[in-house]
Amino acid sequence: MKMRFKYRIKEALQFMAFAFYPKTTLIACAVFSGVVITILGMAMSLIPHDSAWYNLVFALTTGAAGSFFVSFVVEMANNYRHNKLAWHELQDYFSAVIDYEGKKQVLMQHVPTQRAEKKAREEFVAAGGVVELDELDQPEDLIQATWEQLPKIVPVLRTTLDEKKAFLSDKEIIELKNILSDFSQIRDEIKMLIMFSPLLHNVMNHPDEGFLRNIYSGNILADMPDWIRKHIAGSESEAGMERLVDTILSDDYLLTRFMEDYDISQHGLESYHSPFDDEDYEPEAYDADDYDFSEPEDEEEFKALHNEQNKMMIEERKPFVSWHISRCCSDIAESIDILERAILKQPFYGLHLEFDRSAEKARLDDPVSSFIYEHEKKRLGKEMKNR
């Protein structure tokens, strides 16, 4: 009963902090009122008490003091109502940022329990042991951790920016726009890869007209000109490709499988070298003899040739695509980090994010980590003896 009462008191105090955020308006109001009251007070000290001017300045002073308290209370009431509504409206937004940070720490193996296991393995290796880690046990870098979470976090951030902008700060709005801009560039790369696939040939040259039967009656289709029917079918096929891109980007499994041949990581970001960066770079001279301008005999030959050219182009662009998407993921991670710091400055919301975000400065001083560290150390020691 006592603990519940303390919890309610603490919760009430936390919600009362809503009235004092943002501080800028309250501080400006207090400073301005303080300056005005100070000037009037100095004037009162210089004017004789039996003068009519003294009564006038005294009335102005009392009025300024009263106005200050009224404006301060009104501003606090408005802050409380706005922040209380924002607290309810932005739950998904804050949960998405918190979940992203937690998942990122796990994937990068920065949580205390994982650091305990890592420390035990390092000591075991230093003592002469050998530890083989599966690919899934390897820690991921910041870009990989961000890339895996894009399908989950981006829709929430987009909805927040589109529908709940009134509850966001200017800094949050700017960073959310930056995130969606980077994600749009990633989407363009995914779309380009689909455009280079065999799917494009049939979409552009043989759009499916069967769905028109579910939209138009038979007598309309019978008399509909071919060019109208093909145009409508082609537009729908192109819209279907757009939906396919969005479907891939909204599912982490599909996105991982679709981009499994690309190095979206810190290594993919750093290993790419653009030929334009070379001082002695010169574009290759055009030679007409290198190109075959003969017309293919039939459509199948044209399709095969087109697909072969697209495969070559995909292979040539693969390092650049890996670099570009890695660059976008890195920028997204930086923007989300800024969003986290903005959330931490807000009352009550920051309580959800009060954890150690620096793996290097964190210590293995909690009981669970110490237990795991000792357990892992003993287990590895037994393996070494058995070998």
290-348 pLDDT per residue, tens:
555 566 666 676 677 777 877 888 888 899 999 999 999 999 999 999 998 888 777 75
Length of the chain: 387
CA–CA separation, 43 and 48 (whole Å)? 10
Q: Give CA separation, 195 vs 109, 201, 240, 270, in Å.
A: 37, 9, 12, 27
Residues 76 and 15: beta-carbon distance below 8 Å: no
Helices 52-89/23-46 angle, 10° precision: 170
Helices 112-126/367-386 angle, 10° precision: 30
Give the pLDDT confidence of 359-378 residue by residue, as tens digits. Answer: 334 444 444 445 444 544 45
Residues 148 and 256: beta-carbon distance below 8 Å: yes
Instruction: Tell which residue, 343, 327, 184, 169, has the closest CA to residue 263.
Output: 327
pTM recorded for the entire structure: 0.71
Residue 241 has pLDDT above 70, yes or no: yes
CA–CA separation, 349 and 340 (whole Å)? 10
Least confident span in 13-27, 71-85, 259-273, 303-317: 13-27
Give the pLDDT confidence of 103-150 residue by residue, as tens digits. Answer: 888 888 776 665 666 666 666 566 665 555 555 567 788 999 999 999
Task: Write down the mean pLDDT value for the chain.
Answer: 77
CA–CA separation, 336 and 171 (whole Å)? 11
Q: Which two tokens mark 38?
A: 């100070």
Annotated domain spans of the chain: 2-89, 140-275+310-355
